Amino acid sequence: MTEPNFATRVTRWYEQNARDLPWRVPGVGAWPILVSEVMLQQTPVVRVLPAWHAWLTRWPDPAALAADTPAEAIRMWGRLGYPRRAVRLRDCAVAIVERHGGEVPDQLDRLLALPGIGTYTARAVAAFAYGQRHPVVDTNVRRVVSRAIAGEPDAGPATKPSDLVACEELLPIEPAAAALASAAFMELGAVVCTARSPRCTDCPVATVCAWRASGQEPPTGPTRRPQRYAGTDRQVRGLLLGVLRETTGPVPHQRLDQVWHDDVQRARALAGLVKDGLVEPVGAASFRLAGDAPATQPLPG
């Protein structure tokens, strides 16, 4: 099978089976697509959907977010996870306003130059918002290409330059068709060619899949070791941020002390939040979300 035929099969399947997601609606715009791509990093679609709607209702364009504080971005992010993404997204909005007049740029190099926008996100925006021909390679796409083309059961934990080359070789020449194929590859990996329970009987390229032809079984263990959460600094950081999100302005140190019993771990987690630009000290004994407004009334001690 030639590469264009591979893309054609997957694209036809996608056109009939793609999930109905709001950032896929034609004409939705580059900013909503960029927001969705940042939110979807390491976060399931079901959790992103309500957060995406709320975010775009409050900040429908980069200028609206850039005019607000980092603290409000962190608050709005809620418990979506990895809250540094909220700060990076606001930094990105500020750069879009300052460098590009409030419009998300359509050139790949300019997208890559934005704060917090990496190889995957820049190519995803260029392809899905502007219909350009770029290999958009995430974990799902790497798995599809690894299995169907290379005959390997798994692509490994990290994207390599060779993954971009392998994916680009599968794309149609015409830009709009290539952008659609990129979305189709991603969807196939997300819902059919999954890591542990692939639904090969539903796959549009099962008859030409090199991995299926080899008879190999899916990997039995996780590609990456699952990260423990309970009792970790991540949990403590989340508890501290939860208190700070619920309060406008400074929070006394004594109040933060109540969220976790281990003084050393709590101090380490708080120092990490400050280092990451999510929290800032106020005086000698209080903290607040980065860039937060002063309290409108005295806080209880």
Q: What CA–CA distance (Å, rounded) separates 53 from 48?
A: 9
pLDDT at 223 over 60: no
Question: What is the DSSP-derived secondary structure letter of residue 129?
Answer: T
Residue 165's pLDDT is 94
Laid out side by side, the sheet with 279-282 consists of 251-252, 286-289, 279-282
Residue 300's pLDDT is 43
Query: Hunting for tokens 């500020």 — which residue is that?
Result: 94
pLDDT at 163 over 60: yes
Sign of the dihedral defined by the CA atoms of residues 220, 225, 231, 235, in that order: negative
Query: Which H or E run includes 280?
Result: strand 279-282
Q: What CA–CA distance (Å, rounded) separates 23 from 25?
A: 6
What are residue 286's phi and psi, to 5 degrees? -140, 160
Residue 256's pLDDT is 95
Q: How confident is the model at residue 218 (pLDDT cuts 50, 70, 90)?
A: confident
> Parallel, antiparallel, or unpaired: how do β-strands 279-282 and 251-252 relate?
unpaired
List pLDDT tens digits, range 1-49: 455 599 999 999 999 999 999 999 999 999 999 999 999 998 999 999 9
Residue 224's pLDDT is 56
pLDDT at 211 over 50: yes
- Asked about 37 being catalytic, the answer comes back as yes
Contacts 24+ apart (CB under 8 A), 85-89: 85/38, 85/39, 85/41, 85/116, 87/276, 87/277, 87/278, 87/290, 88/38, 88/115, 88/116, 89/35, 89/38, 89/65, 89/116
Evaluate whether 278 touches 83 at the Cβ level (below 8 Å): yes
Q: How confident is the model at residue 299 (pLDDT cuts 50, 70, 90)?
A: very low
Say how far residue 13 (Cα) sits from the centre of its chain: 25
Q: Which amino acid is at 9?
A: R
- 3-class SS of residue 287: strand
Residue 249's pLDDT is 87
| Residues with Cβ within 8 Å of residue 156, at least 6 apart in sequence | 142, 223
Closest by CA to 74, choosing from 299, 298, 291, is 291
Q: What CA–CA distance (Å, rounded) separates 4 from 10?
A: 10
Q: What CA–CA distance (Å, rounded) separates 232 from 242?
A: 16
Instruction: Put residue 54 in one of left, alpha, beta given phi > 0 → left and psi -120 to 50 → alpha.
Output: alpha
* Inter-CA distances, 240 with 41, 256, 292, Å: 23, 6, 15
Q: Give the global pTM.
A: 0.90
Residue from 3, 15, 37, 168 carrying the catalytic annotation: 37
